[in-house]
Amino acid sequence: DRRAEAEHEYGCAAFADYRHLLKMNGLQAVAIAAPTHLHRPMASAALHHGLHVMLEKPMAATVRDGEYIARTARACHRRLTVYQPHRVAAYFQHVRRLIATGKIGTVYHVRRGLFGFSRRNDWQSLQKYGGGMLNNYGAHALDQVLQLVGYDVRRVFCNLRRVASLGDAEDVVKIVIETKQGLIGEVDINQACAQSLYDLEVIGTTGVITLQTGQSNVLHVRRFSKAALKPKRLDRKLASANRQYPSDQIAFKEETIPVNKQFAVDVYRDFARAIRTGTVPFVDPRETLALMRIMAQCRCDAERIRFTPL
């Protein structure tokens, strides 16, 4: 039924077996959006047919499978990338540009949250298919955090929990990472939460950038000018001056900045560029493998999926 629907709606050929598709004349590249546990055999077959491959996130069910796919791509001299829609989104690229201007000083703490309430009952709720929110949403949220704090992670804390999901995979994820430079990244994924608590918060030495839930078209910035701060000395005496705790009168500036839609990266155009020029695509598979290794560390630290029934 779905093949017939695709043929009717998109006017394209549809196949019962992906291996038949790989034999099409003139085919140069494929996008694989099959369930996660099928990525390794499908990507391997495509690469050995001389095709360039774009994979849906997560790249694979395990680090070992991801490394195998990457090795195969190198051996076959084919381009490989992973579809990370939140990384290439206009709002996230705009955030990165604001950080680069120094508008909020030096970034030292990033928080990313994805909240909802869903009694998930499909294959994404089952561990045997690579389901669970660490793979499913964590591949989005942790990817963004790592893009901002870096991949040189020193230690990881992770808690995995199942609350509303009908399967055996986690629907609640808490991750805290610390890089070797001391930067902190946090991820909260909770699909058993009655309210959306926050979306994206980037904390710098002189300001904060926030993306509020449901407002992907606007960014909020609250910052101050370091040069405008009045001189202040450390008071080492135990008795506070005037019997009062010290305080600052800081002139914060608040801005609401519309997201520039032109900052979005067209992943298909970029992948075509990478194929034509033989250069690295915007989403470098080496970064995706680093993400997968850190996700594996998260699962190891969590040890098990705790169950808190509804």
Residue that the structure tokens 């850190």 belong to: 294
Amino acid (1-letter code) at residue 86: H
- Equal CATH topology for 2-86+267-283 and 92-227+251-264+291-307: no
Query: pLDDT at position 248, please?
Result: 86
Residue extents of the structural domains in the chain: 2-86+267-283, 92-227+251-264+291-307
At 36, is the secondary structure helix, strand, or coil? helix
Cis amide prior to 41 (ω within 30 degrees): no
CA distances from 173 to 108, 190, 287 (A): 22, 6, 21
Beta carbons within 10 angstroms of residue 169's beta carbon: 23
Three-state SS annotation for 255-282: EEEECCHHHCCCHHHHHHHHHHHCCCCC
Q: Count the neighbouring beta carbons within 10 Å of the beta carbon of residue 19.
A: 12
Fold entry, domain 92-227+251-264+291-307: Dihydrodipicolinate Reductase; domain 2 (3.30.360)
Q: What is the pLDDT of residues 207-232, one digit of tens each?
A: 999 999 888 899 999 999 999 999 99
End-to-end CA distance of the chain: 36
What residues form DSSP beta bridges with 201? 111, 210
Would you call 113 helix, strand, or coil by DSSP?
Answer: strand
Which uninterrupted H or E stretch holds 109? strand 107-115
List the pLDDT tens digit at each of the 310 positions of the chain. 899 999 999 999 999 999 999 999 999 999 999 999 999 999 999 999 999 999 999 999 999 999 999 999 999 999 999 999 999 999 999 999 999 999 999 999 999 999 999 999 999 999 999 899 999 999 999 999 999 999 999 999 999 999 999 999 999 999 999 999 999 999 999 999 999 999 999 999 999 999 998 888 999 999 999 999 999 989 888 888 888 888 888 999 999 999 999 999 999 999 999 999 999 999 999 999 999 999 999 999 999 999 999 8
Q: Span 2-86+267-283: which CATH code?
A: 3.40.50.720
Q: Are 183 and 108 in contact (CB under 8 A)?
A: yes
